[in-house]
Amino acid sequence: MWALLLPGAYLLGCLPSAVLVARSRGVDITAVGSGNPGASNVTRVLGWRAGVVVLTLDAAKGAIAAGAGLVVEGRPAAYALGAAAIAGHVFPVTNRLRGGKGVATGAGMMLVLHPLVSAPLGIVWFALSRFTGKAALASIAIVVALPCGVALAGRPGWEILATIGIGVLVMIRHVANVRRLWRREELPLESGSRNRAALP
């Protein structure tokens, strides 16, 4: 039965939270900052308040999808529907398959499935983001740490592999960020007009 919900979970993930929030303030988020339609770029261009709104909306997509899976048929369904929501966020059919990085949507999913692991990692993400000014660096750190936390929590092997698979997708979406971090060209997680120029 849960397989019938996969298209709905994907379409939920396609909801362009960042685009809608930025557009409400007269900004095309795909044309400024890094050009990525995600919470980090919204924070960079429009400030923390707008970024938190987008972060919450994107996380809700993953949480709702995973929660629906838990209610319908348990953890395997929750992983499948949560992954579908992440796929919709990263590869939205509504925007020529050009979406966000999947961090916030994945975080919402994992907060439902692994709250005792995800909540501390969320704190780590915020701390690293504020301390380094680089959201991508914080995101990479928690993506690496998540499967380790799931393993330490004693979850079965298939769940560890599932979190690794989701992490690989998120890491692939961060390849350009890793290159910019290496060249020390990654934009800081700050608002301001100097961050409005689009990256190549």
pLDDT confidence of residue 190 = 64
**50, 58, 123 from 11: Cα distances, Å:** 23, 13, 29
72-106 as b/e: b if 16+ CB within 10 A: ebebebbbbbbbbbbbbbbbbeeeeeebbbbbbbb
**Nearest Cα to 63, choosing from 130, 138, 119?**
119
3-state per-residue secondary structure call for 14-60: HCCHHHHHHHCCCCCHHHCCCCCCCHHHHHHHHCHHHHHHHHHHHHH
pLDDT confidence of residue 196 = 47
Lowest mean pLDDT among 51-65, 69-83, 124-138: 124-138
The domain spans of the chain are 2-188
Give the count of beta carbons closer than 10 Å to the beta carbon of residue 133: 15
Judge contact between 132 and 40, C-beta under 8 A.
no
pLDDT confidence of residue 199 = 41
pLDDT confidence of residue 14 = 94
pLDDT confidence of residue 177 = 74
